[in-house]
Amino acid sequence: MKTTQLCAIGLAVALVGVAYADKKTTKPTAEDKKEAKQEVGLKGKTVGKADIEAKSASKLKGKAAFTDDGKGGIVVRIEVSDAPPGEHAVHIHEKGDCSSPDGKSAGDHWNPTHMEHGKWGAPMDKYHLGDIGNLTVTPDGKGVITLETAKWTAGGGAVNDVVGHAIVVHGGVDDFKSQPAGNAGPRIGCGVITGEGVKEKDNKAQPKK
Ligand SMILES: [Cu+2]
């Protein structure tokens, strides 16, 4: 009897401990955030961002930050949580419209260079400027993907301006081959890219031709 009681108390203490530890890890401190930013070289000023919302009945949440890399390029860091573990295609899609429940309102891939779909960095530039790649989500439902490139601009209205388009996270993996979009399955997350530090009248999330 006594042993049973002791066990029960021990279990209760352990459970409280686990709950506490969980709570601690889900709330990153300012220090953690600073470290994460330095880790991927996001020291420059923020030039764009997107809040990624759940689509196709997923529970996904996420955000994207575009920052100046100080070398004439842009770094994007996209992070998701409450996502299904595994690999998920991430693209920039043409229209800055995430209004439909299936995310299809964001249209096709953003492809200002009129190339075929492919893997970022493929020879002869045979990929879309929105072909970011596959993001790996760990069993805790979290994942991060980063990309640094001089092929994008943000906020100036150039043909390669990411602002006004949408980040889309897919349920499946991008095979980097199938046309026009890598056979990546349903759209489980979508977020319109808005400019930071650009004039408000230029900052509307409108589809570009
Ligand atoms: Cu896509």
Task: List the structure tokens of 55.
Answer: 């689509």
Do 35 and 46 sit in the same domain of this protein? no
pLDDT band, very low/low/confident/very high, at 32 (cuts 50, 70, 90): low
**Alpha carbon of 180 to ligand 1 centroid (Å):** 9
Q: What is the pLDDT of residue 140?
A: 97
In this predicted structure, what is the pLDDT of residue 201? Answer: 38
Domains contained in the chain, number: 2
94 in a domain, yes or no? Answer: yes
Q: What percent of the chain has a predicted confidence (pLDDT) above 70?
A: 73
Distance of CA 2 from the midpoint of ligand 1 (Å): 60
- List pLDDT tens digits, range 5-24: 544 444 444 444 444 444 44
On whether both 133 and 54 belong to a single domain, the answer is: yes
Residue 178 domain-assigned? yes
Segment 55-61 mean pLDDT: 97
Residue 133 lies in a domain: yes
pLDDT, tens digit (0-9, with 9 covering 90-100), for 82-123: 999 999 999 999 999 999 999 999 999 999 999 999 999 999
Q: How far is the CA of 15 from the centre of ligand 1 (A)?
A: 41
Residues 82 and 153 in one domain: yes
Q: CB–CB of 83/143 below 8 Å?
A: yes
| Least-confidence region, from 23-27, 127-131, 136-140 | 23-27
Instruction: Establish if 30 belongs to a structural domain.
Output: yes
Task: Output the pLDDT for position 31.
Answer: 62
For 19, the enclosing helix (H) or strand (E) is: helix 2-26
Same domain, 55 and 127: yes
Place of tokens 């492809």: 111
Residues 8 and 88 occupy one common structural domain: no
72 alpha carbon, distance to own chain's centre? 22
Rounded distance between C-alpha atoms, residue 89 and residue 180, angstroms: 13
- Residue 207 falls within a domain, yes or no? no
Question: H or E stretch including 32?
Answer: helix 30-39
Interval between CA 40 and ligand 1 midpoint (Å): 23
Among the listed residues 6, 2, 64, the one whose alpha carbon sits nearest the alpha carbon of residue 189: 64
What residues sit around ligand 1, an ion, with C-beta below 5 angstroms?
Answer: 91, 168
Q: In 3-state terms, what secondary structure has residue 124?
A: helix
* Average pLDDT score, the chain: 83
- Is the domain of 12 the same as that of 71? no
End-to-end CA distance of the chain: 75
Give residue 35's pLDDT.
Answer: 54
Residue 131 in tokens: 């072909």
Rounded CA separation 183/177 (Å): 8
**For residue 183, what is the domain's CATH number?**
2.60.40.200
Q: Which domain holds residue 117?
A: 41-202
What is the whole-number distance in angstroms between the Cα of residue 4 and the centre of ligand 1?
A: 55
Mark whether 32 and 87 lie in a shared domain.
no
Report the percentage of the chain scoring pLDDT > 90: 68
Residue 208 falls within a domain, yes or no?
no
Residue 149 covered by a domain: yes
Q: SS3 of 15, please?
A: helix
* pTM of the shown model: 0.75
| CA atoms 66, 125, 189, 206: torsion sign | positive
Q: What pLDDT, on the 0 to 100 scale, is given for residue 44?
A: 82
Distance 182 CA to ligand 1 centre (A): 8
Question: Which tokens is 22 given?
Answer: 């969980």
Averaged pLDDT for residues 38-60:
85
pLDDT at 197: 59
